[in-house]
Amino acid sequence: MLSLGDSGPEVSELQSRLLRIPDVYTGGSVNGQYDQSLASAVARFQLWYGIRGDEDGVYGDDTRRDLESRT
């Protein structure tokens, strides 16, 4: 699980994957920092694709499975 304040290579991978989904993380950077911009992008992805089971903006198991299947 990744959330606001986390950092490292797993966050960079998340950022890279979100950049492949149109209009979810537009203009976002791959810097390894789970900031408010990334949390908003994760929440947007969850909303747009109907992902339930993780808190809004938190990259948990349900969100990870869905994002990995799309990228």
pLDDT of residue 38: 98
Interior CA angle at 54 toward 51 and 56, to 5°?
85
pLDDT at 52: 94
Q: Domain ranges for the chain, please list them.
A: 9-70
Instruction: Return d(Cα 70, Cα 37) in angstroms, integer.
Output: 21
**Over the stretch 13-71, which tens digit does the pLDDT of each residue have?**
999 999 999 999 999 999 999 999 999 999 999 999 999 999 999 999 999 999 999 99
Phi and psi of 20, rounded to 5°? -80, -15
pLDDT value of residue 70: 96
Neighbours of 57 (CB within 10 A): 19
> Domain 9-70, CATH 1.10.10 — does that match?
no
Output the pTM of the full model.
0.96
